[in-house]
Amino acid sequence: MWETAIKLSGRVYYGPTREFGYTADLPKATKLHEVRLTGLKPATTYCYRVRSGETESETYQFKTAPVPGTNRWRMAVYGDSRSNPAVHRLVAKQIARAKVDLIVHTGDIVADGRDHDSWRKEFFQPVEPFAHSVPWVSTIGNHERDSAHYFSYMALPGNERYFGFDYANAHIVCLDSNAWIEKGRDSEQFRWLEGDLSQQRETTWTFVAFHHALFSAHARRPVNSLRWDWAPLLLDPAHRVDGVLNGHDHFYARNWRMGRLSEQPQAGVLFLTSAGGGAGLYPSMSRPYVALQKSVHHFTLFDFDSDHVTVTPIDINGKEFDRYVLTKSPTPADELCAYEVEEMSHFLRQAVAVATPVRAAEGKATVINDRLRIPTRFRIPVCGELTWERVPGWKTKTPTAPFMLQPRQALEIPLEAEVAPGAYSKDPELTIAFKPGQFRNRTLSVSPFQLVGPTRLTIQKTVATGALDGKLSARAWERVTAHALLGIPGWGGRDERVQFLADDQWIYVAAKLGSTAAEHDQVRLVLNGGKVTHTFIVPRNAPRTAAADGGAKLTDSAWRAALASSKADWTAELAVPRSLFADWSQVRLDFVHRYNVAKEMRELHLCPSYTMGTDPDRIADWKAVPLPERWAQVSLE
């Protein structure tokens, strides 16, 4: 293929020597010339030159594909070459130096596939060291934007989105994993893939390439939901997939081989991300299924040699920073990840997300007597142990318990505990540990207890509270209930309490709060009267503010607040006018202590409500959300 600035006809001179001897013509005038050369011998070097109008290229060389079955050859895999042409060029130089037979790009070739000029700057110029001599195959990335330019510049088999081809002794499949195409089990692509992988072949190796990793080493990216549809197909031993090649996450990550457990020893599938082709690097993280990850610009060399393939990533200085020998031999149990465990962690997360929260008892111990049922899809019996973390204020009934699962048997987790009244500093975490010797990813941990606050809040009447000094010095506070502030499961709470009182004019709130070392420390009283939510914010080190969502904001003189700090903790008192709402029986209330720990925001609530986040490493990664319908209904005495 070549491109001209104006429409011209095209001709290719080619042959085994610089004398050429053959020509192929494209008589139709066009800008983008795609000429098919036929009758070539395999594993043969040809010289060629192209001509359009009066312009002729230099003489270049290419080598045709090896004889089918050839077991010594080289492939370069790389991706995400977009956005930094200078770095892409350095990567391309290393690829050219490696003298590979074939290049497979894992997608995101350019920053915006719709921008015609970017193909010249980000693709054609940087790949100049190999573009005229090495065959190129790619999978489409999200940055190609499904653009017509991608399909016109690529000369790929089939529909150019998902296709398979044999090269030397390998079968290579490329897929489209982007949002714009149907990918589920009913989709055309899925059915095509199933059909392609089921075919009997003479080839030794099978690699499947697509842009978005199913088992990413990205530090923050949520699980790619495509995992649950595609991984079972790719991991099916009948499909003989050896490796899955991905891009999108700008680093190198080599996972432990993964498989579905069976009585037979197995090699498992290598999932590999090679996406350091030029784009800005991303933070990577060692998840249980990740063997080695490095955020570095690179390409990955696949050196095929009879019964093994040596996989070596090479950085822009030509330095190898990993070496892995891919074979068909069974992988030792402690190096093989069980897909069923990743699947189980997904089911565990779903079970926790729909579990009924536990209402914290007021002034007495909270007794929890519940269970979580986690489906599993193991095909062989597995066993292990459940262990509860010991934390102050919590008494779990069975601190450790063995478990044994028959194939497809659900894991029943007893949630039986007694929580001491008042505040508590942390939730107990449960560790599910499978016995050693069966697979590598042996442990899962979960913080399953979700405590919620009172549904009703009775505010006692007082004659006089005394001075509002922030020190909780008024005698009246000694007689009223102190409600614990509750934290997000996993982190849990701290020893913090809030109290309420009222007289004819004011609603009083007094809070005893924890550490003064936190940053962005503040308390918030939120009152929802149906349409209007009033928020009173009292930061420890900044002026107080009142905000109203859906109603008139209160002036500073209409409400009061006072703080007192000691070295270890701080206290706050607030007074808001009863005139704020005509009918207090319609009002719902929450009290929040918000602060930062290592730049991450934490919240303790009187009436917490949570939603599930996207962090695949924490079960469950609850995030606090304001849900007035879950706040305590106020009852004024």
Interaction site with Fe ion (CB under 5 A): 108, 141-142, 248
* In the complex, least distance from residue 78 CB atom to Fe ion, rounded to whole angstroms: 13
CB of residue 230 vs Fe ion: minimum separation in angstroms?
A: 17
Q: Least distance (Å) from Fe ion to the CB of residue 279?
A: 8
Nearer to Fe ion, 133 or 142 (CB): 142
The nearest distance, CB 113 to Fe ion, in angstroms, is 11
If the CB atoms of residues 248 and 287 are measured against Fe ion, the closer one turns out to be 248
Please state the closest distance from residue 398 (CB atom) to Fe ion, in A: 46
Whole-number Å distance between alpha carbons of 98 and 75: 9
Give the nearest distance from C-beta 91 to Fe ion in angstroms.
16
Q: What is the spatial distance between Cα 172 and Cα 257, in angstroms, rounded to a whole number?
A: 19
Nearer to Fe ion, 83 or 571 (CB): 83
Of 87 and 197, CB closest to Fe ion: 87
If the CB atoms of residues 119 and 508 are measured against Fe ion, the closer one turns out to be 119
CA distance 111 to 84: 9
Q: How far is CA 359 from CA 18, 452, 483, 619, 632, in A?
A: 84, 5, 13, 20, 12
Distances (CA, A) of 512 to 65, 329, 419, 607: 75, 63, 21, 16
Token duo for residue 125: 């110029």
| Residue facing Fe ion at closest CB distance | 248
- What minimum distance in Å lies between the beta carbon of 183 and Fe ion? 15
Task: Give the single-character DSSP code of 556.
Answer: G
Q: How far is the CB of 112 from Fe ion (least distance, A)?
A: 12
Strand partners, 547: 535
**Whole-angstrom distance, CA of residue 315 vs CA of residue 252:** 10
What are the backbone dihedrals phi and psi of residue 579, each rounded to the nearest 5 degrees, phi first? Answer: -70, -5
CB closer to Fe ion, 80 vs 343: 80
Please report how many Cα atoms fall inside a 13 Å half-sphere around the Cα of residue 71, on the Cβ side.
9
Say if strands 102-105 and 72-78 run parallel, antiparallel, or are unpaired: parallel
Residue number, 106 or 465, with CB nearest to Fe ion: 106
Nearer to Fe ion, 111 or 423 (CB): 111
Bridge partner list, 66:
none
Q: What's the chain's length in residues?
A: 637
Q: Least distance (Å) from Fe ion to the CB of residue 572?
A: 47
Q: Please give the Cα distance from 537 to 102 (Å, whole number).
A: 62
Least Cβ distance, residue 290 to Fe ion (angstroms): 19
Cis-peptide, bond into residue 632, ω within 30° of zero = no
Q: How far apart are CA 562 and CA 571, in angstroms?
A: 9
Cα–Cα distance measured from residue 263 to residue 261, given in angstroms and rounded to the nearest whole number: 7
Comparison of 246 and 450: residue with beta carbon closer to Fe ion: 246
The rounded distance, in Å, linking the Cα atoms of 561 and 203 is 77
Residue 79 to residues 31, 138, 311, 459, Cα–Cα distance (Å): 27, 9, 16, 62
The residue (of 218 and 248) whose beta carbon lies closer to Fe ion is 248
